[in-house]
Chains A and B, each alone.
Chain A
């Protein structure tokens, strides 16, 4: 059975990911993870997240995937032992010194991080023989590469959705040089998304309609999910520990729906264009299957002058029902807006907002304040934790 693996930047998003269909979540712990500037999990958060996951029969993996410098090496063993004590289901590691230490001194299950840019069967064989349980392949692998690597007989995890590093993971320190933020220790400033002037060898500007950038379109493998399931890939990974709960809920539930739909009836499975539309709407960035189909051309690149549409579709979360729907606000909405409730099973319920009551039970027309709790005067029932988003009207 294929695993759907979602990112979670904090406890709230971990719970959302599980409610919306993830089989497992990967999270950053207090130290040694590659998203140093995300909120990340304290040991207490991890304890609660693990309890929540295990009660549902699901798993939590912790990233311990920085490239160590000398001064960080002393912290490793105590940290690994703490993670072992908490009962994490696996750690995701890049540095072989950490792998070695985890396997020699703890009972932790070790997954090799994509940060090692593992692209070939020989490298997979090496890590398998050294006790690694799963390999997160480099994003640059093609379908043929993956098919051959799978013959090595080890769990294989591949990315299916989200932002792409423009360079090989682990071999980029643009951020280090341009901002003094270490990309391999969690400080990446995403220089690959910056605009640059491209100059020729004599330093004359090569002028074009839009500036030069390394920026890659996002990865999206929605259409390829049936192929990837049939190939025997163990785990499908969604990128984005810094992403919002709305993004995680939408992306996770859409992939859940596609995976379940294909597995329940392979012969009659049909690709759902509507789901694709919803997926791209939530991401706000162009996407592409990237290297999976062997493509590496300009269609993979994203020349948008770094202008991205702000996504304010997501306006609230359903917190319950008490003579009306209780909503916690996430973005501005008002009376008369046509919204859709997205339930965890990706069931969509359309509704036009009528009466809105504030916490003093007074009628109001607009909901402006983040996290404000209001009641919608309606008798429709929607599952708790459903997302409320503005309905997109095609022009």
Chain B
């Protein structure tokens, strides 16, 4: 399994990763946003695989600029584009761009039939949902032929809104000396990171997903994704751990991670959600 990293800024901290996933400013969520020019500069110097995240819901007035960017990316040496909006599939077809599109609609990539539907419609891979169980992930991995990504470490996204929830709250109650960008919402002593940026509001899990114990079962999965959102230390070591973990060193590695992060968790890997309340 290769390791792909969602950076939290300076990409020099992740030189040992196999791939980077760079958000395109104005069109990405849950990733650090780089301007088109910054991405071009990175592409010129990087020896790593570079994926671009264009994974927000696309509003109608954003289509012309999106088409322009996709046409430019189709001429560059990028490994692929993570997309959520079907508009990318349509534009890719209309302009015959032959982009390597990775379906990344974080809570909808939950079964292999639907994933295979998008692979038939032009996608080349999938970022498997992180709100399903390990058993479901493994079933998907066995029944899907495209390139498969699964998050193995980091906070997981749990909410996306066009609304500016924090900014609106600060304005509604005339709170002037607080920054809207990064905060937490807290309930029953659990604190959830919340971000309010130009595209809206995002909320993340209170705990950090850590799939170190599961990684050897992910042998059908092509890329493990580490998200360094809100994780700003020991990045190189974390990447190394996931690249070199074996049965022999797993316990030692896990001790290291537990020592550095008190809030690691398997989140949904062993927790099946329900929908009918009895």
Q: Which residues of A contact B (CB under 8 A)?
A: 36-37, 66-70, 72-73, 95-97, 100, 116-123, 125-127, 138, 140-141, 144-145, 148-149, 166-168, 170-174, 176-178, 180-182, 184-187, 194, 196-201, 203, 206, 208-210, 212, 214, 216, 291, 296-298, 300-301, 303
Contact of B185 with A by CB under 8 A: yes
Which of A96, A123, A206, A300 is B163 in contact with, Cβ under 8 Å? Answer: A300
Q: Which 6 A-B pairs have the closest CB atoms?
A: A187-B275, A298-B168, A208-B173, A122-B87, A182-B273, A185-B275
Closest CB in chain B relative to A348 CB, distance in Å: 36
Contact of B13 with A by CB under 8 A: no
Q: Which of A141, A184, A186 has the most CB of B within 10 A?
A: A184
Q: Can you report 15 residue pairs joining A to B where beta carbons are below 8 Å apart?
A: A70-B140, A96-B114, A97-B117, A100-B117, A122-B87, A122-B94, A140-B57, A167-B163, A171-B160, A174-B159, A181-B274, A187-B273, A199-B184, A206-B178, A300-B168
Closest to B193 in A: A201
A298-B169 contact in complex given A167-B159, A173-B158, C-beta closer than 8 Å: yes
Q: How large is the interface on B (under 10, 10 to 19, 20 to 34, 35 or more residues)?
A: 35 or more
Closest to A196 in B: B185
Asked if B57 and A117 sit within 8 Å, CB to CB, the answer is yes
A214-B183 contact in complex given A170-B108, A187-B274, C-beta closer than 8 Å: no
Known: A120-B58, A172-B107, A185-B275. 13 other contacts (CB 8 A): A95-B108, A100-B117, A121-B63, A167-B160, A171-B159, A177-B267, A198-B184, A198-B194, A199-B185, A203-B186, A212-B169, A212-B185, A298-B171
Which of B85, B132, B170, B203 is A123 in contact with, Cβ under 8 Å? Answer: B85
Contact of B91 with A by CB under 8 A: yes
Asked if A73 and B113 sit within 8 Å, CB to CB, the answer is yes
Contact with A along B120-135 (1 / 0, CB 8 A): 0000000000011000
Residues in chain B near residue A301, CB distance under 8 A: 163, 165, 168-169, 172
Asked if A121 and B161 sit within 8 Å, CB to CB, the answer is no
Residues in chain A near residue B229, CB distance under 8 A: none
Residues in chain A near residue B110, CB distance under 8 A: 67-70, 184
Which of A120, A182, A187, A296 is B62 in contact with, Cβ under 8 Å? Answer: A120
Cα of A200 to Cα of B106 in the assembled complex, Å: 26
Contact of B248 with A by CB under 8 A: no
Closest CB in chain B relative to A207 CB, distance in Å: 8
Residues in chain B near residue A170, CB distance under 8 A: 105, 107-108
Residues in chain B near residue A291, CB distance under 8 A: 162
Q: Which residues of B contact A (CB under 8 A)?
A: 57-63, 84-87, 89-91, 94, 105-108, 110-114, 117-118, 131-132, 136, 139-140, 158-173, 175, 178-179, 182-187, 191, 194, 201, 203, 205-206, 267-268, 271, 273-277
Residues in chain B near residue A296, CB distance under 8 A: 162-164
Which of B62, B159, B160, B277 is A37 in contact with, Cβ under 8 Å? Answer: B277
Asked if B187 and A123 sit within 8 Å, CB to CB, the answer is no
Q: Which of B117, B162, B273 has the most CB of A within 10 A?
A: B273
Which of A73, A119, A120 is B111 in contact with, Cβ under 8 Å? Answer: A73
Asked if B184 and A123 sit within 8 Å, CB to CB, the answer is no
A95-B114 contact in complex given A120-B58, A197-B187, A199-B191, C-beta closer than 8 Å: yes
Closest CB in chain A relative to B268 CB, distance in Å: 7
Closest CB in chain A relative to B220 CB, distance in Å: 15
Asked if A172 and B274 sit within 8 Å, CB to CB, the answer is no
Residues in chain A near residue B57, CB distance under 8 A: 117, 119, 138, 140, 168, 171
